[in-house]
Amino acid sequence: MKVFKILAVSAMALGMTSCISKKQYDALSSNYKQCIENVGERQREIQDLKSQNSALSSENNLLKSQHDALKSSLDACLSNTGKSSANIDKLVGEINSSNSYIKQLISSNAKNDSLNLALSNKLKRSLDNVADDDVQVKVLKGVVMISLSDKMLYKTGDFNILPAAQEVLGKVAKVINDYDKYSVLIEGNTDNAPLSSPNLPRDNWDLSALRGTAVAKILQTQFGVDPARITAGGRSEYNPKATNMSVSGRAENRRTEIIIMPKLDEFMKLMDITPKK
């Protein structure tokens, strides 16, 4: 409400420019623009939080269904007098272990989601002055994904990084270095326009892979990202985001994606958490 009150006051002030000095008008105008920018950023954060909440709700519903199924099995066991108490005790133990596992999994996922949301918001603020068509940042399935357009990074059919792109990669690298417990996956993607050459790149597989490794090398050599955290490769034309039947669709498919996620060993540890028997 405070933001909207400020906007209302600013709007009234702008309508009274004939009654105030130019200095006062400029100050109010600057304040109004800052409020508009703040509202936009809060709305983006709200959308991110809604997406996270929806994913957590779906996962929680699945875990509750599993818990209800175990409880139903216990009720059936208790109603069957022919079953031994040993089996009942074992089933009770499995339910207790399952409850503990559910709580641990939800807690771990909530922590990771909070970190990913903070990371995503930091990236969006760092790249706020870059055109949305060139850089997109979002949280998808528990990881933070940065999509960079090919026209910002390379010349057509080439894999050498353009000098103008290094400023954006430097901002991305700073955030990657701040979150040093995360792994970095870099994927080159192309459209389906055929590329045939006796020299590198020979085809879209070569082009996408060389573009992925080119970004990896810049992050390592120019901005100090630990290469042990980086995995780089190419997906050619086989991971399209849009149709290749239109110019705009092909442009969207030509991209390099930087995916920031928990390190693989930590992710596998989470997957190895199972109810005790």
Above 70 in pLDDT, residue 58?
Answer: yes
Residue 188 gets the label, from left (phi > 0), alpha (psi -120 to 50) or beta, of beta
Q: What is the pTM of this model?
A: 0.57
Above 90 in pLDDT, residue 11?
Answer: no
Above 80 in pLDDT, residue 9?
Answer: no
| Whole-Å CA distances, 7 to 3, 18, 38, 271 | 6, 19, 11, 48
Nearest to 121 by CA among 183, 197, 225, 42: 42
The pair of structure tokens assigned to 116 is 């990913």
Above 60 in pLDDT, residue 150?
Answer: yes
* 21 three-state secondary structure: coil
Query: Which stretches does DSSP call E strand in 88-202?
Result: 135-140, 143-149, 182-189
The pair of structure tokens assigned to 44 is 């983006």
- Looking up tokens 């190419």 gives 234
Contact indicator for 195, 201 with CB cutoff of 8 Å? yes
Give the lowest-confidence range in 68-72, 110-114, 125-129, 254-258.
110-114
259, containing H or E segment: strand 255-262
Per-residue pLDDT tens digits for 160-210: 999 989 988 998 898 888 888 889 999 999 999 998 778 889 999 999 999
Q: State how far the Cα of 250 lies from the Cα of 257, in Å rounded to an integer.
A: 15
Of the pLDDT bands very low, low, confident and very high (cuts 50, 70, 90), residue 80 is low
